[in-house]
Structure formats: C-alpha cells, structure tokens
Structure 1
Amino acid sequence: MQVRLYRKDPLTCDTPLLAVAVFQDGESLSPVVQGAAERVGGAFSRARSAGDFRGREDEQALFYLPEGGGPGPRRVLFVGAGRRGEADAEALRRFAARAVRRAESLSVTEVALHVPEGWPGGVERSIQSAAEGAILAAWDFRELRTRGSSSGATAEDEPRPLVEEVLLCIAGNGADAEQGLRIGVAFAEAENLARVLQWRPGNVATPSHLAAVALELAEEHGFKSTVLGPVELRAEGMGALLAVSAGSAEEPRLIVLEHHGSGAADPPIVLVGKGLTFDSGGISIKPAEGMEDMKYDMSGGAAVLGAMKAIGTLDLPLNVVGIVPSSENLLSGRATKPGDVIRTRAGKTVEVINTDAEGRLILADALSYAVDHYSPKALVDCATLTGACVVALGHHAAAVLGNDEELISELREAGDRAGERCWPLPLWKEYRKQIESPIADLKNVGGKPAGTITAACFLSEFVGKTRWAHLDIAGTAYGEPRAPYQRKGGFGFPTRLLLEWVRGRAE
C-alpha cells in the first residue's frame, strides 16, 4: 500500500473518494468541509438540519458528485469526528480507518483524506496518526485463502479489493508532514508484520519460522542476529524454556536481534516478547472450545519482531535488543508434568503446579539472559500471560507492572499516544508469598487471587535490579475488533506502544 501527501486544495484532487472529518453539533465547518458541502449541492446541509448527521464518531454520510463538474473527487464522504475538545491522535487514527474501510466496501482502491488543520499534537503527529489509521485499516490476512481461484468461481466469491493508495491532504510544505508520514508508515507496517505472524496458523508460524523471519529482518536492517537451538539452550542452562518445549516435536528457539544505533558503550534497551507459537496447556490441557486461538500466544514475540522492523527502518539513534523465547506447549510422553521441578537459567528451581502457566517459564530464562548478556538500561517484556488480566481490565487496556515507577509512567504515556493503552497494577512484596513452594525456590502459579500480579511477581525474580516493566496483553492482543482499524483476530498490540516508548527514549 502507498501513502502520499497531497498539498493542494483537497477539492481539486482527482480521486474516487474524498473523506473529510466533521466535528459534532454546534461546531463551525472548516473551509474544506464547507466547500465539500457546497459541492454536493446542499444535500449535506439538509442532512445536518434534519439531524441525520450530527458529527458523532460513528456517523458517515456519502454523496456522489454530478459528472461534468470539472476536476475533483467523484464521491465525498463526511465522517463524524466527535467533539473538537476531545480530538486526539486516536480520533484522527479512527477517522482515517473509517474512511479506508468505507472505500473498501465500495470496492474503491484509492482514497483521499483531508487531515484537518490545528489538530492537537501538531502536523507531524496528525500525519503520523492518519497514516497509521489508513494502513492498519487497509490490511487483511489473505495469504491462505483460495476463494475465487477455481475455474467455476463467480464475482461473489471474490473478496473486495483492498485499498492500495491513500492521499493525505494537508496545507503547507513543511518538513513536519514528511517526518510524520515516515514515522506513521514505519509504525503501521511494523504492526502489520506482527499481525501477519499472529494470524499464521501454528503449523506455519513455528519457532523455526519466527527465527527465519527474524533473520530476514536482520539481513534487511543490518541487525546482529543470534538464534539458539536446543544444544545452545542447554549450554546456557535454559531449563525452563526446554521444559516447556519437551512435549513437542518442534524444537525451541531463543531469537535475538541487536540494533546498534549509538555507541558500543551505551547500554541497550531490551524488549522481550513471549513467542509461544501454540499453547495446548500441556498436561494441564485447555478446553477444546477456543483452543484454536492459542496460536495467538506468541503475540508478544510478534510485537517485538514488528517493533524491531520499524526501529531498523527509522534507524533510531539508540541501542535496542529484541529477544523472543519461542516454543510450543504440547502433550506427549516427554512433556513436563505437574509436580515436576525444573531449574531455570538463573539457577532458581521452580515447582510446576500447572503446565498451562508456561509463558512465565520461558520468559524467566529470556529475562535472565537479557540481564546477564546486555546489562540493559531498561527492560520491557510483553506477553499474553494471564486470563486474570482480562478479568481485571477487560479488552481496552493491557496491565503494566514493574519495579520502576518512572518506566511504568513512560509506558503509560506511550500507550496513550499509540492508542494502545496500559494501566498499572501493584507489585507489592506481600503477593510473593503466593508463589512460594515447599520443595523448590518458587512455584509457577499463585492460585486464583491476583493472578496477573503473581505472574509478574514470578518474573520479577529474574530481573535483579534492572529497571523492568511487564506488559500483560492477554486481553488486548487479539479478539473482536475494538477500533475501525482492527479486524477480528490478531491486532499487533502492543507494537506501536513499544515503538512510541523507544522513540521517546531516542529523543
């Protein structure tokens, strides 16, 4: 998909569809919206007067322009933008997404979007947000579909074409717009890579597949890459990662990408993402209903790989390391059993109470590896870790926990900018008692109370004094769409949150 800037009057743009944002009742129309209203011959004004279009976020009004009227759009789409006082980056992202989805429904492959002047955040942020919304909305996972490929297929069998080109109409010639476009395209394409990896089924997106994708990114962006297989994992003492993968014929991997954007003496930021490519629950097997969604248990790892793609594209001026511990959690005669005691890379022993609490085990070894090999200035992990997080926060925010309040605040602010919000939960020492084992250093579950917190307590045992935060994305990584730029399935969350945070650190 191509996104370009159009710096002339939007009403002169030769396009099948021009979309303009309209704020809610009582707000005066901008000159561009007023001009578009005049072009449709009073029909829009009548719709407003009748109360059929009031500018609420869920409203749209589409009008066809008469032929022979000179150069300009063939259709005008008025999209409600809500109240001007509530306008933010997410509102602009959603406006762009709604316009692109409407174009798709019309089988229109090109759309022009008027980016209103004076949107909060300035020109750069406005263009970035509009580009993100458009690119994310235009994405769909079609690589495994065969509809329409047979000789007897009809037009009804074919999916509607996706939007291929978006023009962002904006006044002026400043460099801020170019920079916003560059960032927005990089961020959205990164999140779309994460989505592709999420949506691919477990028989395709295996640990070795994630490793292959990582190596492609390394070649494209000049990253230093390291992939550890079973032999190297044993040499590293990664007993937790090996124990989780013991029941599967697929070999585990520890995937490491290094972006060197500043001096070698500068400690890196490290991103760690859980890459559990399929989770049956192991011996503590999950119910059959909904188990197909456990291909999404690698969403954290997908987000880290996506983030590394954009970090390389933008060549951010700081050192960043992305680490993805990847395995499957299946059943066999070799699988880890409830009651087994395993030894982690850090040397701590863990009593496995529930084999379905495996994500924290593979993260434990990865976090220990990150601390010992990189001495990071900050360490952030993300994982679809606990169902308890969905109970606590639902599907509109990830949980964030950690040992550094400033880092937690940075992630919250980054999430707000990205439209991928997170909310803090406590990590008080009293919760640690729930993960004490009578026969080992720790146990891998702490019972039903405060499940998200006790999982983070477990992870905290493997980061030492490193500044660290954990994002539990179980309720936000996939599911039913909650924004017009999402489709049912994997969302790529929290790729853009991570990127906003890393870019903020770079500045």
Structure 2
Amino acid sequence: MGRALPEVVVEVGSVAATALLLDSDVDALAVPVAPAVPGESDLQPRAGTADAAARYGIALAELAERTGLTGAPGEAYTVHLPHPVGRRGAGGEFPWHGLAPRIVLVGVGAGSPADLRRSGAALARATRGLRRVVTSVASEAGAQAPAAVRAFVEGYLLGAYRMPSQASEPSPADRESQRPAAQLVLLGTEGDPRADQIAAAVAEAGIAANATWLVRDLANTPSNTKDPAWLADQAVRLAEAAGLKFTVRGPEELAAEGFGGILAVGSGSASTPRLVTVEYTPTGEAPSGGWRHVVVVGKGITYDTGGLSIKKREAMVPMKTDMAGAAVALATVLGAAAARIVHRVTAVLPLAENHVGGASYRPGDVLRLYGGTTVEISNTDAEGRIVLADALAFADARLDPDILIDVATLTGAASIALGRLQAALYCADPELAAAIEAASVESGEPVWHMPLVEEYRDAVHSDVADLRHVASDRSYGAGSITAALFLREFVGSRRWVHLDIAGPARASADKHEITEGATGFGVRLLLSYLAAAG
C-alpha cells in the first residue's frame, strides 16, 4: 500500500518558446481543443494549440477534424510524428526535428472543473508508459485557474491508477502499459499572481488522489490476503507513518466491551474480527470551543459470502470490495492529516469476514449489540448494518462526535434506485445535507438525498427483540431506506450522515476518472466536506 503517484510540477513557459520540448526526456506535448461554437463546424483551439501547430509545422485543426475529434471532455488523440528515413540534405529535416515526438490533442469541453477532470484522466491513459509529458491544458483555466488546475491534475492522477498485479512475471508490454508517465509538467505563466494558489491546488489534488489510490488498493486486494487482521495491520502501519493515534480491539476486547454484532458476523470465519480507531487532531492552539470532531465509520467486511444466507457465486465475485467503506474512513483521516484540516477526525473501522462455518450466526438469532440494544436477525447477508450499528453506538457513547458519518457498500437497493454512479445520502439535518451535497459537486462524486420515510419505521419492528435488522414484510420494499432507518437507531441525537455507496464503489470498466474494480468513491467527497466545513 502507499504506492507513489506520478509527479506533477508547474514550469514557467509557453508552448511557443519553452525549451522543455527540446529535452530528450519529454515524450509528448498535450494541447487542448474544444467543441465548435454554435453555428460553426470547426473545433476551437485552446491555450497553446495554435502555438503548437506553428512550432511543429502541422495543421492540427485539420488533423483533429480528420480523426473525428469533437472536443468533448474525455477525448484524447495522439499524433505520432515520424522520423526521416534515408539520407536528407541540408534543410530537409521535418519541422518538428528535435521536438517532443508526440502531440496529444485533448478535448476539454466547456472547460468546467468536471470537464477538466475528465480531460486529465484521458491524458493519463493516452500517455501511459511515457517519461515526461508537457501540457498547456491547465493554462486554459482563466479566472478559475486554481479550481480548474486542481480538477485537471486530480483527473490525471485518478486516471493514471492501475490495479496492482500479482502476476509472477508480467510481460514487458504489460509492465509498460501499467506504468503511468513519470512526470506531468504544467506550463504556467511567468509572474502569474495566482502561482501560489495554483501550486496549492496541485498539492490538494495530490492529497485527494493519493487517498483515492489507497482506497482502491485496499479494496482491490484479494481476500485470501486481506482478512480483518491484515487490514488492521495496514491501518496501524499507515497511522504510525502519519503520526496518528490508533487503537486496535481484537476478539477478547470486543467480547469484554460488548460488541456483539461484530463478533457474531465474524463468528463463522477462521479470521477473527477487529475494531480499529485512527485519530487525527490538528496541531496548534484549539479554538475557544475546541476542535469540531467528525467521526467517520466505515463498513469493513473483508469478504462477504452472505453467511448462512449464502450468496450466489456471481454475487460473491466482487465481495473483496465489501470493505470499501472502511477504506474510505481510513483514507479520510489520513487525508485530513495530510491536508492539515482544522477539525478533529476519527475513523472507526469495524472489520469482519462474513463466512460460513459451524459457529456462524443464524437467521432467528437475537444479538445484543454495543450499549445493550437487542437485534433479531432475519438475513445473515445483511451483515453490514450489524457491524455498523455496533460501531455507531460505540462512536455515540465513547467518542462524542459533533458530526457522525457512516459510509458503506450497504444495499443492492441503493444501486437499483440510483445506478452505479450516485451514492444514496441520508441525513435529517438540512444544513448538513446541503454541505455534503455541495462537497459532492466540488469533488465530482455525486450523491442523491434520499428520504428517511417515517412510515417505514415499522419495518425494523421485532416481536422478540428491540429491533429487527431487515424488514419481515416484503411489501415495504425500499431496502436502502429501511437500512438507514435501522442505523438511525444507533446514533443517538448526533448530527448524522449515512452514505450508501453500494453502486459507485465498484465499476466494471474504466470511464473517465473512474477505474475498473474498486473506484475509491467517497473519500474525495468527505475531504471536500471537511475542507469546507466551518
């Protein structure tokens, strides 16, 4: 874990004059193109594109049209410039002799942060395996330079991600295709008064992308490696490296303190459960009222067979990613520390493997969770809300949060309702919900505010326990809503957000800044919220 991201630097210069294009280590120049304006058919050149055409002696606009480029964000076309063949006389060199041997035409759409995030991802994929890439795309930013630069760099770094391979001897071609460009050089303007803001934007993009890479790496790790003890060890290693306080509870501590839900879910596995907390406190003098404390609880099911309510084989295949919520919580606290967020942040990771064994918990069991609430079990494949309930009750009773957030790949119902691109947001506090929605727009990780329908409260009623964790009456439907209503019972009077990321946490193919497998969804959203929260 903790792989190095490609380096991104800002260099003063222009496409027309920079000596970087004469450097033998520079493999490509990337320039932006935009869609034709209404009433016209020609693509629009953007910052540096006309200068590139003049310096290289190539009609780039004509070439772009011949290749079918539309200028839409996410398009990228590479022009491979040939070397001369045979003997040539004086003055017979091509106009691009000595310059970077590739030009990448990158569509930037309207130039919004969302468009530029897609443009950055497209550039990362188009230049994979190169040494240095110089680009003027971020110079297109204008008055919104810092935000646009951040979006472009963030998209580039997110698009550069590739799932770690455990192949014993990958071929040279495979190794090359997996390696992102070693360095991306953004051309900046000399004397730009926003230079410090732009440098900060690049750094912020790096923190957000690094956090996302961590979530992806953890969630993509196969579960024969990633059991609860392994994931707890990773959290400890990363917390120690960041200088953060941490606590790990094993089976004995969990039993002694009454975490009956985590223990029951993990009871069918040979890999015993854990509960990990990682704490970040800002440095310096605290404000008069103390630091605001944000606690993020993440579902950490390291593999989910469904338990005795066993899943079909096809449904088990992606279940190594069922701990994505815990990975998001961990990456959020680490990212908050790296960004020096001015709030206390604590990650709570309930970790268990939901397996089948002689000691598995059963439908019909009644569990006593942390704090004493009893819960009737009707489906052992609804284990996520059980471990979250334990952890939320613990956070409410012991951590005194000002804001309590849980994030989880919780219900198939959420992905049926909202598809694979949006998370379900549950929050009864209008101000807090609006802040999360604003962070969603800022980060490019979309959420949809769902209702906590009070009429469905009876769905979690039980005749033999305080609560039933899954509705017994199928007529209720609304599985994501009833799961949220169940979790609400464990947050006390705290200001609370529930994020069901079952849809966007996984992807079947690369698309823009999203990568196949675990997507890392949620951590950039939460870091944006923390950065903006007063």
TM over 0.5: yes
Query: Alpha carbons of 1:130 and 1:156: their partners in 2 closer, same or farther (altered >3 Å)?
Result: closer
CA distances 1:221-257 after superposition (whole Å, capped 9, x unpaired): 2211111111111222111111111111111111101
Instruction: Please tell me whether the aligned partners of residues 346 and 462 of structure 1 are also in contact (alpha carbons under 8 angstroms).
Output: no
Aligned partner of 2:79 among 43, 60, 63 = 63
Instruction: Please tell me whether the aligned partners of residues 435 and 458 of structure 1 are also in contact (alpha carbons under 8 angstroms).
Output: yes
Instruction: Please tell me whether the aligned partners of residues 103 and 110 of structure 1 are also in contact (alpha carbons under 8 angstroms).
Output: no
Separation in 2 of the partners of 1:332 and 1:355? Answer: 13
Which residue number in structure 2 is paired with residue 452 of structure 1? 480
Aligned partner of 1:76 among 96, 100, 103 = 103
CA distances 1:315-349 after superposition (whole Å, capped 9, x unpaired): 22221111111100011111000000001113111
Instruction: Please tell me whether the aligned partners of residues 415 and 422 of structure 1 are also in contact (alpha carbons under 8 angstroms).
Output: yes
- The Cα shift of 1:431 comes to 1.3
Aligned partner of 2:515 among 487, 493, 503 = 487
Secondary structure in structure 2 of the residue aligned to 1:10: coil
Which residue number in structure 2 is paired with residue 178 of structure 1? 199
Separation in 2 of the partners of 1:50 and 1:337? Answer: 64
Which residue number in structure 2 is paired with residue 25 of structure 1? 36
CA distances 1:59-102 after superposition (whole Å, capped 9, x unpaired): 433324575646643211111222x2xx3222111111111101
Query: Alpha carbons of 1:176 and 1:267: their partners in 2 closer, same or farther (altered >3 Å)?
Result: closer
- Equivalent position amino acid for 2:14 in 1: D
CA distances 1:384-442 after superposition (whole Å, capped 9, x unpaired): 00000111000110000022121111111111111111101100221111111111111
- The Cα shift of 1:50 comes to 5.5
Query: Alpha carbons of 1:55 and 1:328: their partners in 2 closer, same or farther (altered >3 Å)?
Result: same
Question: Where does 1:428-443 land on structure 2 (aligned, <5 Å)?
Answer: 428-443=453-468
Which residue number in structure 1 is paired with residue 123 of structure 2? 99
User: Which sections of structure 2, spanning at least 5 residues, go unmatched?
Assistant: 1-5, 38-42, 83-93
Instruction: Please tell me whether the aligned partners of residues 57 and 95 of structure 2 are also in contact (alpha carbons under 8 angstroms).
Output: no
Secondary structure in structure 2 of the residue aligned to 1:492: coil
Instruction: Please tell me whether the aligned partners of residues 75 and 119 of structure 2 are also in contact (alpha carbons under 8 angstroms).
Output: no
Which residue number in structure 2 is paired with residue 191 of structure 1? 212
User: Which sections of structure 1, spanning at least 5 residues, go unmatched?
Assistant: 149-153
Pair 1:269-2:294 in alignment: yes
CA distances 1:431-489 after superposition (whole Å, capped 9, x unpaired): 11111111111111125500000000000000011000100000000122363233320
Separation in 2 of the partners of 1:60 and 1:101? Answer: 9
Instruction: Please tell me whether the aligned partners of residues 31 and 47 of structure 2 are also in contact (alpha carbons under 8 angstroms).
Output: no
Which residue number in structure 2 is paired with residue 212 of structure 1? 233
395-404 vs 42-51, greater mean Cα deviation: 42-51
Separation in 1 of the partners of 2:67 and 2:303? Answer: 50
Which residue number in structure 2 is paired with residue 47 of structure 1? 63
TM-score (norm 2): 0.88
- Equivalent position amino acid for 1:24 in 2: P
Question: Where does 1:125-164 land on structure 2 (aligned, <5 Å)?
Answer: 125-148=147-170, 155-156=172-173, 158-160=175-177, 161-164=179-182
Query: Alpha carbons of 1:70 and 1:156: their partners in 2 closer, same or farther (altered >3 Å)?
Result: closer
Q: Percent identity between the aligned chains?
A: 35
Separation in 1 of the partners of 2:463 and 2:67? Answer: 68
CA distances 1:134-162 after superposition (whole Å, capped 9, x unpaired): 211222123412233xxxxx645655233
Which residue number in structure 1 is paired with residue 87 of structure 2? none
Aligned partner of 1:233 among 224, 244, 254 = 254
Secondary structure in structure 1 of the residue aligned to 2:45: coil
Separation in 2 of the partners of 1:365 and 1:431? Answer: 22
- The Cα shift of 1:375 comes to 1.4
Query: Alpha carbons of 1:438 and 1:474: their partners in 2 closer, same or farther (altered >3 Å)?
Result: same
Pair 1:110-2:132 in alignment: yes
66-75 vs 132-141, greater mean Cα deviation: 66-75
- Equivalent position amino acid for 1:21 in 2: P
135-144 vs 357-366, greater mean Cα deviation: 135-144
Separation in 1 of the partners of 2:224 and 2:47? Answer: 54
Query: Alpha carbons of 1:390 and 1:164: their partners in 2 closer, same or farther (altered >3 Å)?
Result: same
300-309 vs 120-129, greater mean Cα deviation: 120-129
- Equivalent position amino acid for 1:94 in 2: R
Secondary structure in structure 1 of the residue aligned to 2:27: coil
Query: Alpha carbons of 1:341 and 1:64: their partners in 2 closer, same or farther (altered >3 Å)?
Result: same
Instruction: Please tell me whether the aligned partners of residues 27 and 132 of structure 2 are also in contact (alpha carbons under 8 angstroms).
Output: yes
Separation in 1 of the partners of 2:304 and 2:500? Answer: 16
- The Cα shift of 1:266 comes to 2.8
49-58 vs 415-424, greater mean Cα deviation: 49-58
Query: Alpha carbons of 1:441 and 1:369: their partners in 2 closer, same or farther (altered >3 Å)?
Result: same
- Equivalent position amino acid for 1:192 in 2: W
Aligned partner of 2:406 among 378, 381, 385 = 381
Separation in 1 of the partners of 2:420 and 2:361? Answer: 31
Query: Alpha carbons of 1:276 and 1:338: their partners in 2 closer, same or farther (altered >3 Å)?
Result: same
Instruction: Please tell me whether the aligned partners of residues 30 and 105 of structure 2 are also in contact (alpha carbons under 8 angstroms).
Output: yes
- The Cα shift of 1:121 comes to 7.5
Query: Alpha carbons of 1:426 and 1:93: their partners in 2 closer, same or farther (altered >3 Å)?
Result: same
Separation in 1 of the partners of 2:77 and 2:355? Answer: 51
- Equivalent position amino acid for 2:134 in 1: A
Secondary structure in structure 1 of the residue aligned to 2:135: strand
- Equivalent position amino acid for 1:29 in 2: P
Separation in 2 of the partners of 1:268 and 1:501? Answer: 13
Query: Alpha carbons of 1:157 and 1:402: their partners in 2 closer, same or farther (altered >3 Å)?
Result: closer
Secondary structure in structure 1 of the residue aligned to 2:421: coil
Instruction: Please tell me whether the aligned partners of residues 40 and 63 of structure 1 are also in contact (alpha carbons under 8 angstroms).
Output: no
Which residue number in structure 2 is paired with residue 2 of structure 1? 7
Secondary structure in structure 2 of the residue aligned to 1:17: strand
